[in-house]
Amino acid sequence: MCMRAKWRDKRVLVTGAGGFIGSHLVEQLISLGAEVRAFVRYTSRPQAGFLDTLDPVVRNSIEVIRGDLRDYNAVVQATRGVSEVFHLGALIGIPYSYVHPRETIDTNVMGTLNVLTAAREAGVQRIIHTSTSEVYGTAHYVPIDEAHPLQAQSPYSASKIGADKIAESFFNSYGLPVVILRPFNTYGPRQSARAVIPAIITQALIGEEIWLGNLTPQRDFTFIADTVEGFVKAAECEEAIGRTINLGTSTEISIGDLVEEIGTIVGKKLKIRQDAIRQRSAGSEVERLISDNRLAKELLGWQPTVPLDDGLACTVEWISKNIHLYQIGQYEI
């Protein structure tokens, strides 16, 4: 089991820093004393995603660099002078990948190649590459360990399989100190309504009808604070280099049962309406994801600490206070 490292005055890069997991990771690294450089996707608006919602003292301590992962020069500039790279930047929408597979693959595969190449040139001490449980596809067996076959059931999952394998190849070919983390379904404050839990909560807060796709898939939901702790521990553990590590709770719940849980928290008897546009095609639907998290426990000393009910209650509270950030009921790809 690895010991806690000292982060004070370490300069680190987080790609995808303005997103859901990225913004929470930045916040945690700042609290540990690290100097954080945040790489966020450039838009014409001077915004940095959820980084803009952080406490002003925290926000002002972050060095924000805007660019695109597909621009190698931008990635090289962002990587100069850092000791660790947390690579979370990606196009993550599965429905979006059906419509825009080329953009998804360009960003997730070529963007990852750029990050790995820049990290190698910069001589970084560690790069944490973010995978996803979607690379496993529908479970052949449960719980799913890191040796489970990989199945590309969407262009998004295919892009992440490709990115994972390139990261693996950079460790094997060049000795780049890579750790591949494979979070299962992370949820919590700041998550967009593209994910199922915010989609349910936002609808539940304003009414009693919940529009969803398939209700039978089983998922392993991990609260954001636990996922972030896994990222930090992976960066601290020397024995994690070259390994692929699941981050999940090893418990599962169906989407239908999840609606009931959220209904109990908001104090409503929710009625489910199935929406055909929200359903994946039969060959693309991942029916069951439940992690085997023994490697994370043994190697990193990591384990989830937030029960689903507590995490959902925290998420409901945050969304209710920030409901203006959501287009309620509108299906977002």
11-187+222-251+289-306 is classed in which CATH architecture? 3-Layer(aba) Sandwich (3.40)
Chain mean pLDDT for the chain: 95
DSSP at 288: B
pLDDT digits (tens, 9 = 90+) for 130-169: 999 999 999 999 999 999 999 999 999 999 999 999 999 9
- Tell me whether the omega of the peptide bond preceding residue 143 falls within 30 degrees of 0, making it cis: yes
pLDDT of residue 210: 95
pLDDT tier for residue 231 given thresholds of 50, 70 and 90? very high
- Domain locations in the chain? 11-187+222-251+289-306
pTM: 0.95
238 pLDDT above the threshold of 90: yes
What's the burial of 302, exposed, middle or buried (CB within 10 Å: 0-12/13-18/19+)?
buried
At residue 223, the pLDDT reads: 98
Average pLDDT value for residue range 266-276: 92
Sign of CA dihedral 7, 11, 14, 19: positive
If DSSP codes are grouped into helix, strand and coil, which group holds residue 130?
Answer: strand
Q: What is the pLDDT of residues 38-67, one digit of tens each?
A: 999 998 787 899 999 999 999 999 999 999
Dihedral over alpha carbons 325, 186, 125, 82 (to 10 degrees): 0
